[in-house]
Amino acid sequence: MAKTSPVKKRYAPALRQKAAAIAEILERLYPETPIPLEHQGNYMLLVAVLLSAQCTDVRVNQVTPILFGRADNPHDMVKLDVTEIEQIVRPCGLSPQKSKAIFGLSQILMEKHGGKVPQDWAALEALPGVGHKTASVVMSQGFGVPAFPVDTHIHRLAWRWGLSDGKNVVNTERDLKALFPKKSWNRLHLQIIFYGREHCPARGHYPHKCLICSQFGRKEIFENEKS
């Protein structure tokens, strides 16, 4: 008898049913999915997402009005000194790297893309400070292109809920894309983020009280549950 391939076994009907049930819960709790990072236009979104690396959205939303008050487009951003940008974005952490990236990507947008954020995966990921996750957010939230941005929070939740093996974010993105309909990706990734913040945090988590973990969570997460 032929063995079931690992891929087919990974996405067995039972797992797809679990994914559908989780999606129903998230849709019921979060019928509206506002974009957490405040912005106007794709350039501001790109910069805000870059700043959000290892920083909360709340902090980013406190910093960007100051930064965009000085320069809300690449043409004006390259007129600033990198040190000036760094001083403004310092509260977001990693300010030396982030300020250089913001200045550098603004230069490239002016030189190669007519001052516009390109709707192109390769062009986005070629920009300084822009990795696949950042490009995914811009493509999904900025251009409406189906994408499933996976940050550390979604990576953690996908493992907790048994939707992915948790080895790395690449595997998690692959698994989530395989389990959920493409038309739901953009909405669902925000719903997962909202749910994680409110009901399934990294610390102080009580699986038995979590609507999703209590039904679908891996057994390992209950072993260290706080009393």
Task: Dump pLDDT digits (tens) for 60-95.
Answer: 999 999 999 999 999 999 999 999 999 999 999 999
SS3 label, residue 50: helix
pLDDT of residue 166: 77
Q: Do 60 and 119 meet the contact criterion of CB atoms below 8 Å apart?
A: no
Model pLDDT for residues 113-153, shown as the tens digit of each residue = 999 999 999 999 999 999 999 999 999 999 999 999 998 89
Q: Is 175 a catalytic residue?
A: no
On whether both 46 and 131 belong to a single domain, the answer is yes
Q: Of 151, 165, 167, 226, which one is the catalytic site residue?
A: 151
Q: Do 174 and 148 meet the contact criterion of CB atoms below 8 Å apart?
A: no
pLDDT of residue 161: 97
CATH number, domain of 53, equals: 1.10.340.30
On whether both 24 and 47 belong to a single domain, the answer is no
Helix, strand, coil shares of the chain, percent, nearest 5, are 65, 0, 35
- The length of the chain in residues reads 227
Q: How many CB atoms lie within 10 A of CB 83?
A: 9
What does the pLDDT average to over 20-41?
A: 96
Q: For the chain, give the mean pLDDT.
A: 93
pLDDT of residue 19: 97
Q: Is residue 170 part of a domain?
A: yes
Q: Of 133, 167, 177, 183, which one is the catalytic site residue?
A: 133
CATH number, domain of 174, equals: 1.10.1670.10
Choosing from 142, 158, 181, the residue where a domain stops is 142
On whether both 78 and 108 belong to a single domain, the answer is yes
Residue 111 structural domain: 42-142
For residue 141, give the DSSP letter.
I
pLDDT band for position 222 (cuts 50, 70, 90): confident
Choosing from 98, 118, 142, the residue where a domain stops is 142
Query: What is the C-alpha to C-alpha distance for residues 124 and 180, in angstroms, rounded to an integer?
Result: 25
Q: Is 116 a catalytic residue?
A: no
Calculate ∠ Cα 108-113-118, nearest 5°: 100
On whether both 108 and 180 belong to a single domain, the answer is no
Global pTM?
0.89
